[in-house]
A and B are shown apart, each in its own frame.
Chain A
Amino acid sequence: MTTAAHPSSVVSEPTAEKWLRMYRCMQMIRHFEDRVNDLYLRALMPGLAHLYVGEEAVAVGICEALRPDDYITSTHRGHGHCLAKGAAPDRMFAELLGKEAGYCRGKGGSMHIADPDTGNLGANAIVGGSAGIATGAAFSAKHLGTGQVAVCFFGEGALGQGLLYETMNLASLWKLPVIYVCENNLYNEYTHFSETTAGDILARGKAFGIASESVDGQDVRAVHAVAARLIESARQGNGPALLLCNTYRYTGHHVGDISREYYRSKQEEQEWKTQRDPILLFAAWLTGQKIADSAALGQIESEVKAEMQAAVDFAIAAPYPALAEVEQDVYA
């Protein structure tokens, strides 16, 4: 399904250059995550990580519609958001390995990457925990008159958290420029969302008078079009929006979630990967439009792969923080 945005609602039609930047970014996320999984399998990464593979169109489509100084909050499944907002893969890998060169000097890890330079207020390992922070950033933007917008990414599992509705109510009352982006990848960990989520998701936003829309989260152009419209509307002072992106995660809840048949079938996974893959769908459109041929796209992919390998090598070689750092930065 390609839901072309209504012409009047398109903020500005992306150029070929922009489409290819988005394609590159989607490839970057995919190959970044591939390397993360590899680090896990080779026992080089401490702890676990939650991969974003399959959901690339959401982060890329939305972040492409943001200004560099706009804010995002991210989740435990946050690598894609960080990359799409402009984070450098080498420093992200360094963070994943607990190295000093990491975005958080190794103190945050996979679930807490934060970076003021790219407006990343931080990934959050409390499901739904960042709704307040994103809404607060929108509060600042409004009070300081900066014209910034905040995007709050969350999985559909966070729909069970009261904080989300408290902040939606506040954001609507105060017309704050915040976009609540629900990434519905169908599963709250190992439980299908239909077992945990009553009623209509969009109705939850509408109940607060919030513009609420859904989009095919595998179609990066559709995501981008609707995001650009909602973000600009919020920037103009028209208040918050809820954007429901229907998507799918290809791999386990985290890298160690290998046997998944008890909660979803291999066939289901296969169908999404072969028929609904956001990168394949976008590549087909790019070649169909003659924006790039498959050789050019292949070239992008191999450049990205090499870049990711170099980033991993950097992180592996990077030193750990000095032990004296353990007590640093508890207080500002």
Chain B
Amino acid sequence: MPETAQRELTFAQAVREALAEEMRRDTRVCILGEDVAEAGTPFKVLSGLVEEFGTNRVIDTPISEAGFTGVGVGAAMTGMRPVIDIMFGDFLTLTMDQLVNQAAKIHYMSGGKWKVPMVLRTTLGATRRSAAQHSQSLHAWVSHVPGLKVVMPSTPYDAKGLLKTAIRDENPVVFFEDKMMYKLKGPVPAEDYTIPLGVADVKRAGKDITLVATSSMVQVALGAADLLEKIGIAAEVVDPRTMWPLDEQTLIASAKKTSRVIVMDEGYGRYGVTGELASVISEGAFYSLEAPVKRMGAMHVPIPFSPPLEDLTVPTEQTVFEAARALCGKA
């Protein structure tokens, strides 16, 4: 990373900077969402953008997720580069027809003629004491659908570089931000850079076990790796960064190297992305594995409000540490 990388930004600032840079670069880029303009979203991620770009490009919408997502689809087809803001990932359900039956399929159904260069930004993640309708991580739903790309940054650096790439992409991209991570700080270069979609990142190298972690789980995996180091286990942390396109090779290579793998993700464990990632690894690294690939996801319950209950529902440094220790035969 160049010298200027020493500059630190929060995750929220990195997202905002990516948007601002892309809006300066390309006047077709506009933002549509609830409370995105003067309010800058409830998470203040977009604060300041309306002052620079005006209400013509940072556009407050009615509370009509399906409606303004659909407008985004049509606008993207006809010359704009809309960035749709869906406040909570739980509200993806309201946009589903526009995303799944419209945006994802238009390019294919039209024989490659129409394109939908749209980004839909939304959030994921529990433990914010927001209860069952404001805490889900529903990225598996959209990862399932051909025609959509799905991005899940885990650091400010990745957030900025991946969001800029997503905005320049010719396809509909769903971009998930962990709302617990908005205040996380990290190095972000001031100059223009992008990160290609479909390239995993090894966040920490190790030889004994691979922790594949997405979005919010990357910090958890890094914390668990610190704990594991103390008992002599060198964990490698691999972040796929995008659910689709998926960098299968990096996951498989790490699994072959360490021979033990835990896949962790904040979506529901059942039928979730952990199942897909574990399967890719099992198929690709079968003869190198010392143990079945272990999956760790959110418990299969609606996220409860009560703090001690909510905290049980997602993998933590401690539960990952214990699972890894057991997998390495050091229980």
Contact = CB atoms under 8 A, between A and B. Distances in A.
Interface of A: 71, 73, 102-108, 112, 114-116, 121-122, 124, 126, 129-141, 143-144, 150, 162-163, 166-167, 169-170, 173, 328-332
B62 A170 contact: yes
B331 interface: no
A136 B149 CA distance: 21
A191 B46 CA distance: 47
The 7 nearest A-B residue pairs measured at CB: A132-B70, A136-B74, A166-B67, A105-B111, A329-B112, A166-B64, A104-B111
Interface size class of chain B, counting residues whose CB lies under 8 Å from the partner chain: 35 or more
B80 A169 contact: no
Interface of B: 28, 30, 56, 61-62, 64, 66-80, 82, 97-98, 101-102, 106-115, 117, 146-147, 149, 170-171
A133 B109 CA distance: 15
Contacts of B78: 71, 121, 136-137, 140-141
A121 B71 CA distance: 13
Nearest to A106: B111
A144 B57 CA distance: 12
Given A103-B110, A133-B74, A136-B75, 20 more contacts: A71-B78, A104-B109, A104-B113, A114-B109, A114-B113, A116-B113, A121-B74, A129-B98, A129-B101, A130-B102, A136-B70, A138-B74, A144-B79, A144-B80, A166-B64, A166-B66, A169-B67, A170-B67, A331-B170, A332-B170
Given A129-B101, A140-B79, A330 B74 contact: no
B102 A170 contact: no
A162 B111 CA distance: 29
11 contacts: A121-B78, A132-B71, A136-B74, A136-B77, A139-B75, A166-B70, A167-B71, A169-B62, A330-B107, A330-B108, A331-B147
A140 B82 CA distance: 10
A121 to B, nearest CB: 6
Contacts of B80: 136, 139-140, 143-144
A130 B70 CA distance: 8
A73 B77 CA distance: 12
A330 B170 CA distance: 12
Contacts of A121: 74, 77-78, 114
B158 to A, nearest CB: 21
Contacts of A122: 106, 109-110, 114
A139 B147 contact: no
A30 to B, nearest CB: 26
Nearest to A139: B75
A140 B114 contact: no
A329 B107 contact: yes
Contacts of A131: 67, 70
Contacts of B114: 114, 116, 121-122
Contacts of B77: 121, 133, 136-137
Contact of B111 (A103, A133, A331): A103
B112 A135 contact: no
Contacts of A116: 113-114
Given A106-B111, A137-B75, A332-B171, A162 B66 contact: yes
A292 to B, nearest CB: 37
A107 B98 CA distance: 19
Nearest to A143: B80
B56 A132 contact: no
A170 B66 contact: no
Contacts of A102: 111
Nearest to B77: A121
Contacts of B109: 104, 107-108, 112, 114, 122
